[in-house]
């Protein structure tokens, strides 16, 4: 039929074809934008401690990433040190035993540090709010708290949007990497006397990006001068000299 009715039908069919084509075009454009955002995000990193670069995927803290550090508050603070020194704001939530002196000793700028030692039952809400305001949030979830998949996914989306980093001292879903101290040896005590002047630790790290493999590194945490640094081959006399220097500083 070639009357008015058939022309109307054909027009509607053509319009729907154009609408479908536009919708497909828009969908493809959205996919391209998402892909570009993921690519740019993968290239964005926060300043990273040289001592820990070898046990982090990509050798850096990824903007939008979450990390777990088990068994050492000092190790967790080391992840905050370089971002803080570069001018980033940091926050520490739920670590009541950590004071400003310890944070300062770890190299964190106190002028750009938010401490929330007792968030109580509102700890997750506090963390969520801080993610919108600071670059790096260190949180110690309550022992009995369990972060659900849905809550972690929502927070991860906010981290990506804000290009922030979350560091948890306890389990966290879909973490980019999990770091743990597996060995620890103090030095500085002589034959029944002396001062604990330095500590060597082995830091083991696992990440989904490494497909089940783990990495480990031997670190001073800290060395005799209070610095976190890789353990490198050096003469016994040099090590003893640094330990003695650190002990004298402690006495002085």
pLDDT of 248 higher than 80: no
Give the pLDDT confidence score for residue 235 in this predicted structure: 40
Q: Where are the domains of the chain?
A: 1-43, 45-178, 180-251
Length, in residues, of the chain: 252
Kindly give, in sequence order, each residue whose CB lies less than 8 Å from that of residue 142, ignoring residues fewer than 6 positions away.
94, 123
Give the pLDDT confidence score for residue 215 in this predicted structure: 94
Give the pLDDT confidence score for residue 228 in this predicted structure: 86
pLDDT of 16 higher than 70: no
Is 90 within 8 Å of 138 (Cβ atoms)?
Answer: yes
pTM, two decimal places: 0.72
pLDDT in tens, 84-129: 999 999 999 999 999 899 999 999 999 999 999 999 889 999 999 9
**45-178 maps to which CATH number?**
3.40.50.300
Distance separating alpha carbons of residues 110 and 112, to the nearest angstrom = 5
pLDDT in tens, 76-96: 999 999 999 999 999 999 999
Q: Choose between 53 and 250: higher pLDDT.
A: 53
Is 69 within 8 Å of 217 (Cβ atoms)?
Answer: no
State the angle between helix axes of 123-131 and 149-162 in degrees (0 to 180), rounded to the nearest 10.
20
Kindly give, in sequence order, each residue whose CB lies less than 8 Å from that of residue 144, ignoring residues fewer than 6 positions away.
none
pLDDT in tens, 193-202: 445 568 889 9
Give the pLDDT confidence score for residue 24 in this predicted structure: 60
Q: Choose between 22 and 241: higher pLDDT.
A: 22
């Amino acid at each position: 039929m070639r009357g008015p009715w058939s022309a109307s039908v054909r027009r509607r069919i053509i319009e729907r074809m154009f609408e479908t084509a536009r919708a497909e075009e828009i969908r493809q454009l959205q996919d391209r934008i998402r892909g570009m955002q993921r690519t740019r995000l993968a290239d964005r990193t926060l300043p990273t401690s040289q001592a820990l670069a070898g046990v982090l995927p990509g050798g850096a803290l990824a903007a939008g990433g979450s990390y777990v550090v088990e068994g050492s508050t000092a190790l967790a603070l080391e992840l905050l040190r370089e971002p803080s020194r570069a001018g980033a704001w940091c926050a520490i939530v739920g670590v009541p035993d950590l004071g400003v002196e310890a944070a300062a000793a770890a190299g964190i700028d106190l002028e750009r540090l938010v401490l929330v030692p007792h968030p109580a039952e509102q700890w997750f809400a506090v963390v969520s709010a801080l993610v919108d305001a600071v670059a790096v949030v260190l949180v110690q979830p309550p022992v009995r708290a369990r972060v659900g998949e849905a809550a972690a996914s929502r927070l991860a989306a906010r981290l990506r949007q804000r290009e922030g980093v979350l560091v948890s001292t306890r389990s966290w879903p879909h973490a980019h990497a999990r770091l743990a101290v597996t060995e620890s040896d103090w030095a500085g005590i002589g034959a029944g006397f002396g001062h604990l002047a330095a500590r060597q630790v082995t830091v083991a790290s696992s990440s989904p990006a490494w497909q089940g493999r783990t990495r480990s590194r031997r670190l001073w945490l800290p060395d005799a001068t209070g610095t976190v640094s890789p353990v490198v081959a050096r003469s016994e006399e040099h090590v003893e000299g640094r330990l003695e220097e650190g002990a004298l500083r402690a006495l002085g």
